[in-house]
Structure formats: C-alpha cells, structure tokens
Structure 1
Amino acid sequence: MESRVLSGATTFAGIPHLRKLPRENASCCFVSARPIGTVAEGGNLIWGRHLRPALLLESSPVSKAEILRPCLAAASSPAEGSDSAGEVKPVGFFDKYPVLVTGFFFFMWYFLNVIFNILNKKIYNYFPYPYFVSVVHLLVGVVYCLISWTVGLPKRAPMDSNLLKLLIPVAVCHALGHVTSNVSFAAVAVSFTHTIKALEPFFNASASQFILGQPIPLTLWLSLAPVVLGVSMASMTELSFNWTGFISAMISNISFTYRSIYSKKAMTDMDSTNLYAYISIIALLVCIPPAIFLEGPQLIKHGFNDAIAKVGLVKFISDLFWVGMFYHLYNQLATNTLERVAPLTHAVGNVLKRVFVIGFSIIIFGNKISTQTGIGTVIAIAGVAIYSFIKAKLEEEKRDQNRPLKFMMDLLGYDRS
C-alpha cells in the first residue's frame, strides 16, 4: 500500500532537508529528536494496517530506544534473517516472492467471481427476486464468518464504537452496491452489467480527485476516455438493454467506489478478513428490511412455490447455499487484494476481471451481442489496459523519486519498522 509522511521539513530537489540533530552526550549513541510527522509539525498520518512507523508516535510515552535505533547496536547486531548464533534462517517462498502471492489473490478472485456470476444468473432465470437473493448471499457469508470465529480461524478482532463508526458507511455502501448489482443481473445479460460496471475506475478516479483531494494526472483522465466511449457504444445497441438494469449498474459503480475509499480508511487497526466479516454482518442487517418490504408478499404467495416446482426443493436450496458461499469467498479475496494494493489499482484489477466474466457468460448462456456492442466492449477493455500501463509507470516513477530519501534514512539508522 502506498503511504506518505508529510512533515514541516523543507525540500530541495525532491529530498527533505535533514537537519543535524544534537547529541545528548558524547558517550551515548542515541540521538535526541522529536518524532517526525507529529501534528504540531504539520505531519499527516494516513491509514493502513501495515503503516505503524515508530517515528510517528508521540514523544512523551515512547523511549528513545523505541524511536531511534542505536548506531552501535545496529552495527553489531546479527543481520536480519539470522538468529543469535549467526545461523541464517531460511526465507519463506511467499516472503521472497510477494508478487506471486498478490497474483494468486487476483487469480482466485477472478476464478470464484466467474463461478458466482454464472450460478447467480442461472438462479435468476427461475427465481427472479434479487433482493431476497442478495440477503441469502450475505447470510451464508455471515454464517461462514461466525463459524470461522468459533474455531479461531481467524481469531475475532475486538470491536469498539470508534471502529463501528468507520465500518457503518462501508457496510451501507457495500449493501447498496450489492443489491443494485443483483437487480441489474436479474434484469439484463451478465455481460452487459459488467460492461456498464467497467466504468468503476472512472468513478474511482473522480472520487479521488474531487472528494479525497488527490490529484489525478491528465494522462490518466485521457486513458479513461476510451472506457467511457466503449461503454456508451455497447449500451446503445445492447439487445437486453433496459433502464432498470442500466441505472442499477451505475448506482452499483458509485456505491462500490465509496466502499473502496472507506474500506481503505477502516484498515487501520484490523486485518481484512475480520474487516469484511463485520461489514457483511452490518450489510445483512441493512438488506433485510427492503427485501421483506419489496419482495416478501410475492415470495410467500408464489415465489418459493414456483422455484421449487421448476427445479425441486433440494436443488433450490443447494443453489442458494453455493451462490452465497462463492459470493462470500470471492469478496473476501477481493478485500484481501485491496489490502495489498492501492484503491485505483484494485479498481483496474476489478475491470480486468470483467473480461473473464463477460467472456464466460457469453459462452455459457449463449448471449447474442450486436457488432457495435462487441466493438464497444473491446474499446472499453483497451482503455482499461492503457489506464493500467500509465498508472504503473507513474507509480514506478514515484518509487524512483523516493529511493534517495529511503537510502538516507537507512544510512542514518532510522528504524522504519
């Protein structure tokens, strides 16, 4: 995850001016200094569960040994990755190749999402009640989380009022985005819904620019133009087009954009698995009332009976269980992936995932698409590819600019763990 520490220090050529700090006495190797990035100096602490530098702590409760690494001790201590006897400890495969771990998260996220979308659409073909199905998705996930907590995999993280305030807007956005996505899936072809949802990076970039105040380069905005154009072309000639499906997918884009932003903020003190479990519980409570109010009477009158008559009771219950399980697992992996990357990168990966979903849905369901719709979809995906390339180049340039500062901090013996 990206992080920045902004202090009151002046800069020259992109490198903060480092002031020579006074020593307390000649015999001590500790340097007396105020914590960098404190509020009094204009410091800006941002979220992130991996971002807990000791230098950002208040000076009063922290000893000097906790703030700065002793120079002599650092020079004489065993190297990282070795024990006290000097024996080198083996480095784990996943620690050595973190990129492969992130790639595995993306692959499983895509794979489970494809299965979910196919099974979900099959259910809507004989049971067109998206609000109730949305509740089932969340209910199965919540039961899964409760069982996991019971056996201690993972151990349940404590909840307090402050964290609850952070999670409520995340859960509300998650619930709204989830329900509106299902309404769109039930109303139009899966491929068309995902084509509309390809606009999510555009909404994400807009939120970053105008809500979070994070400037987005002009090149990134220009790379999103083909995405907007392609989605517009696909929408005009989509054979399954209707306004319910279109508007619901657009509302889902906005909701999930805000969910990503608020989720990033809420990752301060909780791992992503526990975070998504609490979000699912709150979202379930949010989704139950509209499902009862909007679809309850129809379900009791003929909805359940019609579904059982078409596929049988066992298959009906089995389909609902497995679609809920796949929904929870793919969203859990999506949350784990979000924890490892920046929100905009996550949004781009989300769009690339739709390539697989669109392709498989056309093959499985035999959806017919017009030539213009196909061209529009290709243009949208090409725009996403351009966006991804430009974003990666900008991030690489940013890392190159930060390398001199990192080298200087390492040279001075700062503990950035």
Structure 2
Amino acid sequence: MVRLSKQEFRDFLKIVFICIGWYIVSSTNGVLGKTVLSQFPYPMTVTMVHLASIALFSTPLLKMLQIREHESTWSHHKSILLPLAFGKFVSSVFSHISLWKVPVSYAHTVKASMPIFTVLISRFLLGERHSYSLYLSLFPIVLGVATATVTELSFDVTGLGSALIATAGFSLMNVYSKRAMKETGMHHLRLLHKLGQISALMFLPVWTLVDLTSFRKDLSMEVVILLAIDGFLHWIQNILAFTLLKMVVPLTYAVANVTKRISVITVSLLLLKNPVTATNVCGMLLAIGGVFCYNLAKYRENQAKDSLPLSMSKPVPSRPLWQNHLTFDPKVQVTTPLSYLDTQIKRNQ
C-alpha cells in the first residue's frame, strides 16, 4: 500500500476539489450559455463578453497573487502569442455558433473528436509519428460522433460545421499552449491573461462590424445579468482548467477533461431536456469511450518512447586476459605467456 506524505495528500485533495469545481462550473456554464443564446441570438457578442471577462477579471487576480509581469519579446508575440490569440477568438466564435444552433449534448459530443484533430496536427504540422494502436483508437470516436450525428433530432449543418471548426481550433491551441509555456517561461495564469487581452483586441473590429449596431434591440436587463454571470463563469472555468493543467500530467488532465465532458452532457440532458433517442445516447457513449481508449493508447505510446534508448552503444571488442595492461599497482605489468617463455629461454642460454 502506497503511503502519501502530508504534502502529497494536500495536493491530492487540492486536485480533487479543483476537478469537482471545474465540472460544476463547466456544466453550469454550458447550460447557461445555451439559455443566453436562446434568448439573445448573438454568438459574436457572447464571445466578446467571454474574452473581455478573461482580460478584466484576471488583472486583479494577478495582482492579488503577486504574479509578476512577464517580459516577452516581439518574436514570442509574433510566433506564439498572436497565433494563439487568433485561434482562441476564432474557436470561441464557432463554439458559440454551434451552441446556438444545436443542443449542448450534441455540441460536446462533436467536441469529443478533439483527439482526431490533435493526431492530424501533430502528424502533418509537427512531423510526429504514431503507433497503429493510437490510430485504431480513433475509430470508436469517429463511429460515435457519426452515430450521434445521424440520430440527432435537432441536427443542423451549421452547428455541426461550427463545432468541428471550434474543436480543430482548440486542438491547435492545446498543442501550441504547451509550447508557449515552455519557450516563454510564462506563468499559466499570466498566459491566460495575455491571450484574453490580445484576442479581445483582435476580435473587437469584427464584433463592431457584425453585432454592435444590431444587438441592442434584443438587450434587456435580464440578458445583461445572464451575460455577466456567463462571462464570470467562463473566466472561472479557464482559471480552473489552466491550474489543473499545470498541476497534473497530460494523461490525468485528458481523463479529467473527458469526465468533465460527460458531466456537461449529463447535466444538459437533465436540465434542458432536449429530446434524444437510445441510439443517440449510444453514439455519445461510444465517442466518450473512444476518447478514453485514445488516452490509454497515447499513454502506452509515450511509455514506449521513454523506454527506448536514444542511441545504440558500440560493442567493445574483447581482449585476452593476458594482453598487456596496467593492474592496480602501476609498477606491475602482466605479460603474455609466450613473451615470458622467450625471456626464460634467453636467460638459460
């Protein structure tokens, strides 16, 4: 039985509470986001509220936690932060469009296809090779998403396409966020704050052209309150996700993310009561199960890579025991038997 130290036990409890909080906030945020978009069909404005919430609410938090400002060069902004910020607002926009067009349960089932995009990105953009078992683990995900799509009663092509684009964008962000934290050495909450600021500024002209003049007619005090709560919950969700990603290994985070998706789907089905069929639920479960299989295959692939030697050592040629060499006493030398016999014969002569 493994015994944990007091510090390890505290860390374990901290991770458990962060996961529980993450599941509750994410489920609430999913249901509330669908409610807001049903009453206020402006996904661009909802996206702007989310991005602005990250930029505004993170500022006092960073000061309270005394997280210093990170000095990043223009090359880091150009090669890492700007693409990440662009991907963040594009993914957020399409995520809200999908949430507006299709039920929460179906949108999150489609988002379970994230491992597919992660494998494609790592293969074609980063040049990484994967095992056959990893590719085979993607098959249940494809089959599950396809089953859920065919049997979805509230199916919408725009919703499906938006969910797929958002998932691809989030996959790209996950791959390059790790690179950003590694190369810049930036604190994870500072990185979140920076991405919120840059993405909000980049998205501001788009939002101004599309929604600024049209959303006011549907704006009410109830909608304003719902938007404020939705933005605050989205910020809390990002804080918990980035903190958990910092505390645990990638496999643990991936499993926790799948569990979060299950909780979001379950809560949305119970509270929003959107109609589903038994085959539709089976498709959801198959897609989620496929993600578990992918995580297991990915873990085994990483274990195999870590266990392989980096280079093959050259074999050392064996030498006879009597070959000339130094012993522990450098004054004593061991000679071959033949040379010893030659010396004795010469002495006798």
State TM-score, norm by structure 1: 0.67
Structure with the bigger percentage of helix: 2
Aligned to 1:338: 245
Equivalence map 1:94-243=2 (5 Å): 94-95=7-8, 101-165=14-78, 166-243=80-157
Q: Which AA in structure 2 matches 1:264? A: K
Residues 331/285 of structure 1: CA separation in 2 closer, same or farther (3 Å cut): same
Q: Which AA in structure 2 matches 1:113? A: S
Aligned to 1:377: 284
Aligned to 2:218: 303
> Whole-Å Cα distance in 1 between the matches of residues 255 and 123 of structure 2?
16
Residues 237/146 of structure 1: CA separation in 2 closer, same or farther (3 Å cut): same
CA contact (8 A) 1:200 1:347 kept: no
TM-aligned CA deviation for residue 284 of structure 1 = 0.8
Q: Which AA in structure 2 matches 1:325? A: F
> Whole-Å Cα distance in 2 between the matches of residues 104 and 394 of structure 1?
30
> Whole-Å Cα distance in 2 between the matches of residues 288 and 223 of structure 1?
40
TM-aligned CA deviation for residue 104 of structure 1 = 4.3
1:273 to 189, 210, 215: 189
TM-aligned CA deviation for residue 121 of structure 1 = 1.1
> Whole-Å Cα distance in 2 between the matches of residues 103 and 399 of structure 1?
28
Query: 2:270 matched to 1:355?
Result: no
> Whole-Å Cα distance in 1 between the matches of residues 229 and 7 of structure 2?
30
TM-aligned CA deviation for residue 105 of structure 1 = 3.9
Q: Which AA in structure 2 matches 1:293? A: L
TM-aligned CA deviation for residue 103 of structure 1 = 4.5
CA contact (8 A) 1:135 1:287 kept: yes
Secondary structure in 1 matching 2:49: helix
Residues 172/343 of structure 1: CA separation in 2 closer, same or farther (3 Å cut): farther
Q: Which AA in structure 1 matches 2:257? A: N
CA contact (8 A) 2:105 2:264 kept: yes
CA contact (8 A) 1:187 1:244 kept: yes
TM-aligned CA deviation for residue 185 of structure 1 = 0.5
For these two proteins, the number of residue pairs brought into alignment is 303
Q: Which moved more, 1:285-294 or 1:359-368?
A: 285-294
Q: Which AA in structure 2 matches 1:338? A: L
CA contact (8 A) 1:204 1:344 kept: no
Aligned to 2:210: 294
Secondary structure in 2 matching 1:117: helix
2:173 to 237, 243, 259: 259
Aligned to 1:56: none
Q: Which AA in structure 2 matches 1:128? A: P
Q: Which AA in structure 2 matches 1:281? A: Q
> Whole-Å Cα distance in 2 between the matches of residues 375 and 95 of structure 1?
38
Q: Which AA in structure 1 matches 2:41? A: P
> Whole-Å Cα distance in 1 between the matches of residues 86 and 292 of structure 2?
31
Query: 2:152 matched to 1:245?
Result: no
TM-aligned CA deviation for residue 355 of structure 1 = 1.0
Residues 120/288 of structure 1: CA separation in 2 closer, same or farther (3 Å cut): same
> Whole-Å Cα distance in 1 between the matches of residues 87 and 285 of structure 2?
29
Q: Which AA in structure 2 matches 1:303? A: D
What's the % identity of the aligned pairs?
31
Equivalence map 1:25-40=2 (5 Å): none
> Whole-Å Cα distance in 1 between the matches of residues 96 and 110 of structure 2?
13
Runs of 4+ with >6 A deviation: none
Residues 93/320 of structure 1: CA separation in 2 closer, same or farther (3 Å cut): farther
- Deviations along 1:14-39, one digit per CA (max 9) or x if unpaired, are xxxxxxxxxxxxxxxxxxxxxxxxxx
- Deviations along 1:284-326, one digit per CA (max 9) or x if unpaired, are 11222222212223213x221xxx2xxxx1x333221111111
> Whole-Å Cα distance in 2 between the matches of residues 102 and 397 of structure 1?
27
> Whole-Å Cα distance in 1 between the matches of residues 130 and 248 of structure 2?
17
TM-aligned CA deviation for residue 394 of structure 1 = 3.8
> Whole-Å Cα distance in 2 between the matches of residues 350 and 275 of structure 1?
20
CA contact (8 A) 1:208 1:216 kept: no
Secondary structure in 1 matching 2:178: helix
TM-aligned CA deviation for residue 378 of structure 1 = 1.5
Query: 2:219 matched to 1:285?
Result: no
State TM-score, norm by structure 2: 0.79
TM-aligned CA deviation for residue 383 of structure 1 = 1.3
